[in-house]
């Protein structure tokens, strides 16, 4: 067991990450996953020797250390290097962690939620992120490379049933990979499924560098097209753009607020100008960020649009878990 952090999550705030399973245990072997473990293990929950009480005790000590130094944690994130729902003691672990105070978040690919014991276990979380890549069987096989015993129709039924029963905050994440799941037909089918799942947020992410030429993000203009297409059909669509490699140069308060505004979605120039009026931020700040390469100006549907410049797709931070955002490899 390893406790990672605290680190800042773009979705959850300041968090502690908790790894409890051995690396390489997953029901999928996603083409875009930086871990991409082979799916050779049976896709069934089993006992990995995790002691929920011992894990909760260790996390509680870490929380106490942070509190003694004036630190605070917004969430505890369960996101092992594989698929968390393979742990037969997941439900007991989630319940033990909830007693510590911060909300408990779980990242899962959702492939086992059709199993009643798994769905019941995951209901103990406060916040759940479901990975939903595609509804097309051929694309699912090519992109997510499931274990042979995992069937897409069964997975979709499990997602739908869980979304109806889950009382907490549900979000989804879809990694768009150029040529696999980013065309209009794919997005239309994805929108239909997400509308039935009714997540609080639907995040669009993009593949980290993998050394595989076939695994590429859509180009920036097409990212705008994908965002606008889904945003017109679903509330709560957000982008999770990769970080710019290397240390970021210092910015002023106005620039930082603007970058924060563009962190999760693009804006047309007209809308962005309107949003800046009450903030007192001059349009010159936008121009300086464009000139400095921190913001991209793209022509889309006859208008200028602005997108945080995070699309260099250079070296990514080490991955913490298989289904979610990157995080520091070691605790600070």
pLDDT at 94 over 90: yes
Mean pLDDT score, 141-161: 93
Band of the pLDDT at 244, cuts 50, 70, 90? low
Sequence-distant (6+) residues with CB within 8 A of 220 are: 296, 298, 307, 311
- Vertex 156 angle, CA 155 and 159, to 5°: 90
List domains and CATH numbers for the chain: 2-240 (3.20.20.70), 254-308 (1.10.10.10)
pLDDT at 160 over 50: yes
Amino acid 196: pLDDT: 96
Amino acid 251: pLDDT: 52
Alpha carbon distance 320, 33 (integer Å):
11
pLDDT at 46 over 60: yes
Buried b (16+ CB within 10 A) or exposed e, 57-71: eebeebbeebeeeee
Amino acid 165: pLDDT: 97
Amino acid 320: pLDDT: 43
Mean pLDDT score, 183-201: 95
Amino acid 246: pLDDT: 45
Task: Write out pLDDT tens, residues 289-325.
Answer: 898 888 889 988 888 998 887 655 333 333 344 565 5
pLDDT at 281 over 60: yes
Tokens representing 75?
């969430």
Torsion angle (degrees, nearest 10) of CA 300, 301, 303, 309: -10
Contact criterion met (CB below 8 Å) for 28 and 111? yes
Sequence-distant (6+) residues with CB within 8 A of 288 are: 255
Mean pLDDT score, 107-114: 95
- On average, the pLDDT of the chain sits at 85
């Amino acid at each position: 067991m390893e406790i990672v952090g605290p680190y800042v999550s773009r979705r959850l705030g300041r968090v502690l990450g908790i790894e409890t399973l051995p690396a390489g245990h997953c029901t999928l072997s996603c083409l875009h996953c930086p871990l991409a473990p082979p799916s050779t293990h049976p896709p069934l929950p089993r006992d990995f020797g995790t002691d929920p009480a011992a894990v909760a005790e260790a996390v509680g000590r870490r929380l106490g250390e942070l509190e003694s130094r004036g630190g605070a944690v917004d969430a505890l994130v369960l996101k092992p290097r594989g698929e968390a729902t393979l742990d037969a003691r997941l439900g007991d672990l989630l319940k033990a962690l909830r007693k510590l105070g911060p909300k408990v978040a779980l990242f899962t690919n959702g492939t086992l939620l059709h199993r009643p014991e798994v769905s019941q276990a995951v209901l103990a979380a406060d916040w759940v992120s479901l990975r939903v890549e595609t509804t097309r069987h051929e694309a699912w096989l090519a992109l997510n490379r499931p274990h042979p015993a995992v069937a897409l129709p069964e997975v979709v039924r499990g997602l739908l049933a869980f979304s109806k029963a889950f009382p907490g905050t549900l979000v989804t994440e879809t990694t768009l990979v150029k040529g696999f799941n980013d065309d209009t037909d794919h997005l239309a089918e994805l929108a239909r499924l997400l509308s039935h799942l009714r997540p609080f947020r639907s995040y669009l992410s993009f593949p980290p560098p993998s050394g595989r030429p076939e695994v590429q993000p859509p180009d920036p203009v097409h990212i705008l097209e994908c965002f606008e297409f889904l945003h017109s059909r679903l509330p709560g669509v957000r982008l999770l753009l990769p970080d710019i490699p290397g240390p970021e140069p210092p910015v002023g308060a106005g620039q930082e607020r603007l970058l924060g505004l563009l962190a999760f979605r693009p804006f047309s120039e007209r809308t962005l100008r309107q949003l800046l009026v009450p903030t007192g931020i001059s349009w010159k700040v936008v121009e300086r960020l464009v000139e400095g390469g921190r913001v991209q100006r793209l022509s889309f549907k006859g208008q200028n649009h602005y997108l945080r410049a995070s699309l260099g797709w250079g070296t990514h931070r080490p991955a913490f878990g298989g289904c979610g955002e990157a995080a520091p490899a070691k605790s600070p």
